[in-house]
Amino acid sequence: MAKEKKLVEAITSMEEDFARWYTDVCIKADLIGYTSVKGCMAIKPAGYALWENIQAELDRRFKETGVQNVYMPMFIPESLLQKEKDHVEGFAPEVAWVTHGGLDELQERMCVRPTSETLFCDFYAKDIQSHRDLPRLYNQWCSVVRWEKTTRPFLRSREFLWQEGHTAHATEEEAEERTIQMLNVYASFLEDVLAIPVIKGRKTDKEKFAGAASTYTVEALMHDGKALQSGTSHNFGDGFAKAFGVQYTDKNNQLQYVHQTSWGMTTRVIGALIMVHGDNSGLVLPPRIAPTQAMVIPIRQSAEGVMDKAVEVKAALEAAGIRTALDDSDKSPGWKFSEQEMRGIPVRVELGPKDVAAGQAVLVRRDTREKQIVPIENLAAVTAELLETIQKDLFEKALAHREAHTYDAVTYEEFSEIADTKPGFIRAMWCGEEACENKIKDDLSVTSRCIPGEQVHLADTCICCGKPAKKMVYWGKAY
């Protein structure tokens, strides 16, 4: 028993130290490993399988809206990066530079892409000539590099995986429509697949992407009450087009600038998955994203008929479309249970000699640990239904947690009291001035998360300065 307890004891409880709990889960659930490369992580099979499922789901959703995949170079010459002033200022502090090719110093240094707006613009300037070339709806799956000072698995690493969509349109309206469309793709992916409820809204000018006319975001609340920006969609207007000369001839043979968007989601969402659903036994994965949905664990597997039945059960579950694995290792059942729980596999099927004799199996939910005895002939159907229930329950639980940790403030005293003592989102009115955002950030380490599309009128005046309020804003401490 001592050995069996070790796996769970190996992780710090989230109440004791949430940050350590998070890192422990990343390691013990076998998602990542460390390498000699500072600030970067090795993504192990269990972590990469999650990313592959995220990719597959998102990619399908992108393509349904007409998006095509492409690939751009990973290097950006300095002169190209310099072309859009706000953009270069935003990214300069964290880019990595290539100064040599082999033994020779480069005439012009190149950065490793921190994001690829400049490359797409450079490409579009050559690739787009006529209104017939529009819209261009391109996306690339790649890694980018941002030289972060402090790093954490999935949440902040110097190299990370993501997708970046870059589109070019004939009109402002089309670009805005695409920006919102992709925001909605992210929101429905997060809610329907990852079971993470999100707040959709616009970033304030202070928080928007470097060079964007407007940035939209989906914000999620983690278990510790901190916010995580989980996907962003930017409307660039024609700012980049003017800086890079991306023009087309319209139907009247007049030269026009294109209107552009970009949108991205990264391996950060794996961090969100961990921090929204995980518990003190490890990861809890929503069935729709789980690489393995059911783990069959034989008990006293050397007993007659147990392994044969376990193999049969696995095949039956797979035939019903359930991603199933069988743990036939020589570890003890208790150890196998802990491992399945640590890895967040949504259900396990326990099968011992008595079960085999009775023609039944024990089905155990990962999220609630609820057990039920199921006749083997019904097992596939019951498991499939249970996976749907777990998916729905995880979303409801996360939503209830967010609602219980969302507070309204009307006075600055209330606001600072909540910021100091109650982790979560704070909803409060804002005048639209950056000075108030700065003061709130300096005083309370709280940032504006977004101006939600669904506005609620809480008061007439700004929470900070008392001037007339323009918008209700979600505020919070963020990752």
Q: How far is the CB of 420 from Zn ion (least distance, A)?
A: 20
Considering only 137-145, 207-215, 257-265, 428-436, which stretch makes contact with Zn ion by CB under 5 A? 428-436
What is the rounded distance in angstroms from the CA atom of residue 134 to the CA atom of residue 175? 11
- In the complex, minimum distance from the CB of residue 469 to Zn ion, in angstroms, rounded to a whole number: 8
Instruction: Kindly write out the interface string for residues 435-454 of this chain, putting x where it contacts Zn ion by CB under 5 A and - elsewhere.
Output: -x------------------
Total residues at the site for Zn ion (CB under 5 A)? Answer: 6
Instruction: Report d(CA 281, CA 369) in Å as an integer.
Output: 11
Question: Whole-number minimum distance, CB 126 to Zn ion, in Å?
Answer: 45
Query: Minimum distance from CB of 461 to Zn ion (Å)?
Result: 8
Minimum distance from CB of 206 to Zn ion (Å)? 13
Q: How far is the CB of 53 from Zn ion (least distance, A)?
A: 43
Which span (118-126, 277-285, 390-398, 461-469) binds Zn ion, by CB under 5 A?
461-469
Q: Which residues contact 104 (CB under 8 A, 6 or more apart)?
A: none
Compute the distance between CA of residue 427 and CA of residue 463 in angstroms, rounded to an integer: 10
> Using CA atoms in the order 343, 3, 370, 389, what is the torsion angle rounded to 10 degrees?
0
Whole-angstrom distance, CA of residue 53 vs CA of residue 60: 11
CA separation for the pair 394, 310 (Å, rounded): 28
Residue 464 makes contact with Zn ion by CB under 5 A: yes
Total H helices, total E strands in the chain: 15, 23
Using an 8 Å Cβ cutoff, are 416 and 448 in contact?
no
Choose between 290 and 469: whose C-beta lies nearer to Zn ion: 469
- When binding is defined by CB under 5 A, the residue of 155, 462, 472, 473 that contacts Zn ion is 462
Question: Quick check: 472 binds Zn ion (CB under 5 A)?
Answer: no
- Minimum distance between the CB of residue 452 and Zn ion, rounded to whole angstroms? 18
Amino acid at 4: E
Residue 429 CB, shortest distance to Zn ion, in Å, is: 9
Q: What are phi and psi of 67, to 5 degrees?
A: -75, 145
Which residue number, 182 or 463, has a Cβ lying nearer to Zn ion? 463
CB nearer Zn ion, residue 29 or residue 428: 428
Residue number, 33 or 468, with CB nearest to Zn ion: 468
- Tell which residue, 232, 183, 239, has the closest CA to residue 211: 239
Distances (CA, A) of 82 to 91, 221, 242: 10, 36, 14
Q: Give the β-pairing of 294-298 and 96-101.
A: unpaired
Q: Which stretch binds Zn ion (CB under 5 A): 73-81, 313-321, 430-438, 444-452?
A: 430-438
User: CB-hemisphere CA count at 13 Å for 144?
Assistant: 25
Alpha carbons 268 and 379: distance in angstroms, whole number: 35
Stretch that binds Zn ion, among 48-56, 136-144, 364-372, 458-466 (CB under 5 A): 458-466
Q: How far is the CB of 207 from Zn ion (least distance, A)?
A: 16
Give me the least distance between CB of 436 and Zn ion, in Å please.
3
Tell which one of 303, 399, 465, 478 touches Zn ion (CB under 5 A).
465
CA–CA separation, 331 and 298 (whole Å) = 11
Q: Contact with Zn ion (CB under 5 A): which of 431, 440, 472, 473?
A: 431
Select from 104-112, 140-148, 200-208, 429-437 the region that touches Zn ion (CB under 5 A).
Answer: 429-437
Taking CB under 5 A as the binding criterion, the range among 252-260, 290-298, 322-330, 463-471 that sits at the site for Zn ion is 463-471
Task: Give the range of 38-46, 189-197, 320-328, 465-473 binding Zn ion by CB under 5 A.
Answer: 465-473
How many Cβ atoms sit within 10 Å of the Cβ of residue 442?
9
Residues 6+ apart with CB under 8 A from 321: 384
Per CB under 5 A, does 409 bind Zn ion? Answer: no
137/64 Cα distance (integer angstroms): 12
Nearer to Zn ion, 112 or 469 (CB): 469
Distances (CA, A) of 424 to 188, 224, 419: 22, 8, 8
CA 127 from centre of chain: 32
Which CB sits closer to Zn ion, 310 or 431?
Answer: 431
> Which residues are paired to 33 by β-bridges?
42
Q: Which range, of 106-114, 278-286, 329-337, 432-440, touches Zn ion by CB under 5 A?
A: 432-440
Give the residue with the Cβ less far from Zn ion, 394 or 464.
464
* Least distance CB 467 / Zn ion (angstroms): 5
Q: Helix crossing, 379-404 with 268-277: angle to 10°?
A: 90
CB nearer Zn ion, residue 294 or residue 431: 431
Tokens of 148: 């972060």
Is 398 or 436 the residue whose CB approaches Zn ion more closely?
436
Q: What are the residues binding Zn ion (CB under 5 A)?
A: 431, 433, 436, 462, 464-465
